[in-house]
Amino acid sequence: MTVLDDVVATYPAAVELERLLGDPRDATNPFGFGAVVERDGAALFPEAFATELAPHLGLSFVPPEDGGHLSTMDETLTLARLVSRRDGAAMPATMFSVTGAGCVLLAGDAGQRERVARLLAAGGVIGFAMAESEHGSDLLANECRLDPADSGGFRLNGRKWLVGIGDRCDALVVVARTGGRGPAAFTAVLLEGEQLAAVRRDQARRTSGLRGIDSTSVSFDDVEVPADCVLGGVGRGVEIALKVMQLVRVLSTAANLGCADTGLRLAMDFAGEHVFGGRVLAEHAQPRRVLATAAAMLFACDAVALPASRAMHTLPAAQCLWSGIAKRVATDLSAEIFALCADVLGARSLLHDGPFAAFDVARRDNAVVRHIDTAPDANLWSIATLVAQFPESPPEMEVPEEVAATFRLGDPLRPVRFGELDLALRGMDPVTAGFFGISAAVIAELGTGSAAAARVKRVDARLRAVIRAMHRVRARGVAGDPARWDLAVRFCWLHAAASSVCLWWFNRERRLYSLPAGSAGWLSAVLSVLLDRAGDRTPRLDAHDTTGTYTLAETLHTANKLFSAVPVALAPPRPVCSTDGK
């Protein structure tokens, strides 16, 4: 058994889930593409997924000591990715409780955590209510109030909106104002039983994608909330929510990865069968380059998301930055993947029937994920603030073992401790520091004359330049300076490149993406697209990277494997019976 086989073997739940879900191209499969197109057309909730999978996936992020099924977060990410490649709406249908349940796991007492785990095990849903329509992402302006009551508890008054599956939830975490100003003016409470029954659930709202996953407004009119419903203490509501959003951002990348997998796979199917000018599209240079570029973007998302999920175990305090970067990279690149693949499919990318109808469903589902959990601009503002606090000249340092273990796929991980999530970095970002610590050795091993080595050198120089530029912008002291946002976007792409280099370096004795151990073909293409994006250029692979990346994508696709460094075998196609019964 190769080392790669050992890595795949660490995802037994994902392998079993894929087997259970079957071939998505099977027209009779309730978990297939045909079923998702029908549900989308009628805006129906994915009941089959929720009934079959919610009791399992709903506990996939819950540590065993709290009654859950969590093995590693990268396996949980893979589970959600396998579900999302069939139906983007299936992930929220089975895992939308992650935000509300995460708040309880992070700050709840033993009784609250036990009740939540029991509810999830029964297939129940825990909603999360924080946003208000009048204030959007300006959370500190929220008005819904939790005022002291004579009973010693509170009275809850106000309105929240866009509560995911709010019409179905069996418990609800609400963040409401208990004080005057600032983050400490808000408190989180868990509403169950009588308290939940007193909540008025108003008209549901639907989005253009994730149809069937309704977001509901909820209203509170003097709802009595006992003191023992508080999570973590009065004044900790915003802190708890912002920390849990780090987990949500990392896991949400699974929806982008899954939807983009479907988009690329359908486009490759079409390119392999549609004849143009006497040859199938896949034999023409431009469609091959387009699909190779899309594949390189998907590999880049994978190279960011897998380590970020593992860092929930090893480097939780870094998630205040890393999770936001993973979210930005996955949402931006997945949208570009769909744009590229749509150019290959042409008008078929818009049709709601036929063999490629799932493409448009996946594209619309993917677009909605961008706005779940954190507004894009708020996310960038947070990233800019954190990067501005880096040392202007990052010191050279050895790579700590926890950084190496994060990137070494298959290495054992310590248990997740949600309480170690933080809102600020304590020192240098471990990915940036780790990259600077290995970049010279990486360049030497790749060979100074190689394209990959040259790109690693450019990533090193540009990362340092962005950090210095962020310090200059900060020193100007101009409130709301747009340059901070521009630099934050550039940093995201370069951080993704650094993560990709670290993934290659710490696994160079293993097979990644089904390539021979040490192969840097995938890395060269990934760095090409990320450096182009960091330079505000449209990514275009050169002829060499196009050939290698298309061949790799075609190999994974033909072998029916996930487009991932850990290429999990997908459900085999259903055998086709002949009409004469032979």
Q: Are residues 306 and 159 in the same domain?
A: no
Q: Is residue 581 part of a domain?
A: no
Q: Are residues 229 and 252 in the same domain?
A: no
Q: What share of the chain is helix, strand, coil (3-state, %, to 5)?
A: 55, 10, 35
Q: Is residue 447 part of a domain?
A: yes
Q: Are residues 360 and 501 in the same domain?
A: yes
Which residues have CB under 8 Å from 150's CB, separation 6+? none
Say if residue 472's pLDDT is above 60.
Answer: yes
pTM recorded for the entire structure: 0.95
**Domain span holding position 182:** 126-235
Residue length of the chain: 582
Specify the CATH number for the domain of residue 321: 1.20.140.10
| Average pLDDT, integer, range 478-507 | 94
Q: Are residues 182 and 300 in the same domain?
A: no
Q: Are residues 209 and 306 in the same domain?
A: no
User: In whole angstroms, how large is the CA radius of gyration of the chain?
Assistant: 24
CA distance to 132, 303, 323, 459, per residue, from 447 (Å): 54, 22, 32, 16
> Strand, coil or helix: what is 414?
coil
Q: Are residues 219 and 267 in the same domain?
A: no
Convert the pLDDT of each residue in 421-435 to its tens digit.
Answer: 999 998 889 999 999
Specify the CATH number for the domain of residue 158: 2.40.110.10
Q: Is residue 578 part of a domain?
A: no
Say if residue 580's pLDDT is above 80.
Answer: no
Domain count, the chain: 2
* HSE-up (13 A, CA, CB side) for residue 574: 14
Q: Is residue 209 part of a domain?
A: yes
Q: Is residue 135 part of a domain?
A: yes
Q: Is residue 182 part of a domain?
A: yes
Say if residue 4's pLDDT is above 70.
Answer: no
Q: Are residues 153 and 294 in the same domain?
A: no
Task: Locate 342 and state its tokens.
Answer: 């749509």
Say if residue 320's pLDDT is above 80.
Answer: yes
Q: Are 267 and 362 in contact (CB under 8 A)?
A: no
Task: Locate 290 and state its tokens.
Answer: 């387009």
Query: Exposure pattern of 230-244 as b/e (b: 16+ CB <10 Å)?
Result: bbbebbbbbbbbbbb
Q: Are residues 229 and 298 in the same domain?
A: no
Q: Is residue 342 part of a domain?
A: yes
Confidence of residue 203 (pLDDT cuts 50, 70, 90): confident
Task: Locate 171 and state its tokens.
Answer: 């418990």
Q: Are 363 and 287 in contact (CB under 8 A)?
A: no
Q: Are residues 370 and 275 in the same domain?
A: yes
Last residue of a domain, one of 210, 235, 260: 235
Q: Are 362 and 437 in contact (CB under 8 A)?
A: no
Convert the pLDDT of each residue in 391-422 to its tens digit.
Answer: 888 877 789 999 999 999 989 999 999 999 99
Confidence of residue 330 (pLDDT cuts 50, 70, 90): very high
Q: Are residues 442 and 322 in the same domain?
A: yes
Q: Are residues 221 and 270 in the same domain?
A: no
Say if residue 582's pLDDT is above 70.
Answer: no
Q: Are residues 216 and 285 in the same domain?
A: no
Q: Is residue 45 part of a domain?
A: no
pLDDT value for 8: 57
Last residue of a domain, one of 235, 260, 282: 235
